[in-house]
């Protein structure tokens, strides 16, 4: 089970937005929770129902964990970043992070790919994830070459 660890968040100092973005979503390790700014949002783009169109699903960190925890425990989940584009201005940064998802770390082929849009904030001493908004690749929406 994933739990918040305030002691770890105080010891964890992220000086660059790039490693922070890379470690924001992964195999569900508890240290990831400490990377999020209070009130942060994780926003998958999905179809709420079979006949529905794509829509963002607004989740806080605890809501995201509740949504995926049992699936990750049963099936495994490993996300590998395959490309990144970072833009920064002052204390804010935006990262486009293209990913491949696997159920086992040593799987040769991913079962899914997509793009994360990650917004970051620097509080004067470290970077925090404010939001991660993502969409999986589909036949209708393949990952564009410029994001690979």
pLDDT per residue as tens digits for the range 24-78: 444 444 547 788 999 999 999 987 766 678 889 999 998 988 888 888 889 888 9
**Given this model, what pLDDT does residue 73 score?**
87
**Given this model, what pLDDT does residue 51 score?**
67
**Given this model, what pLDDT does residue 40 score?**
96
User: Which residues, 6+ apart, have CB-to-CB distance to 132 below 8 Å?
Assistant: 24, 25, 41, 42, 43, 116, 117, 118, 119
- What is the distance between the alpha carbons of residues 102 and 109, in angstroms, rounded to a whole number? 7
Instruction: Please enumerate, as own/partner, the contacts of 8-13 that have beta carbons within 8 Å and a separation of 24 or more.
Output: 8/34, 9/34, 12/126, 13/125, 13/126
Q: Which CATH architecture has domain 6-147?
A: Roll (3.10)
- The domain ranges of the chain are 6-147
**Given this model, what pLDDT does residue 72 score?**
86
Joined tokens for residue 52 = 């529905």
pLDDT per residue as tens digits for the range 72-130: 889 888 999 999 999 999 999 999 999 999 999 899 999 999 999 999 999 999 999 99
- What is the distance between the alpha carbons of residues 92 and 77, in angstroms, rounded to a whole number? 29
H helix or E strand, kind and range, residue 42? strand 36-46
**Given this model, what pLDDT does residue 65 score?**
87
**Given this model, what pLDDT does residue 19 score?**
56
Q: Are strands 127-136 and 36-46 parallel, antiparallel or unpaired?
A: parallel
pLDDT-derived band of residue 11, with 50, 70 and 90 as boundaries?
Answer: very low
């Amino acid at each position: 089970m994933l739990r918040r660890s305030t002691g770890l968040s105080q010891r964890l100092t992220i000086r660059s937005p790039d490693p922070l973005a890379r470690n924001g979503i992964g195999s569900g390790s508890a240290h990831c929770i400490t990377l999020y700014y209070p009130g942060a949002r994780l926003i998958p783009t999905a179809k709420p129902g079979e006949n529905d169109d794509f829509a963002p699903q607004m989740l806080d960190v605890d809501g995201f964990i509740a949504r995926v925890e049992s699936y990750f425990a049963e099936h495994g989940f490993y996300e590998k970043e395959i490309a990144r584009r970072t833009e920064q201005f002052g204390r804010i940064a935006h990262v486009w992070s293209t990913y491949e998802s696997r159920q086992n770390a040593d799987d040769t082929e991913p079962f899914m790919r997509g793009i994360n849009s990650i917004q970051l904030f620097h509080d004067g001493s470290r970077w925090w994830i404010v939001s991660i908004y993502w969409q999986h690749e589909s036949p209708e929406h393949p990952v564009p070459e410029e994001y690979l």
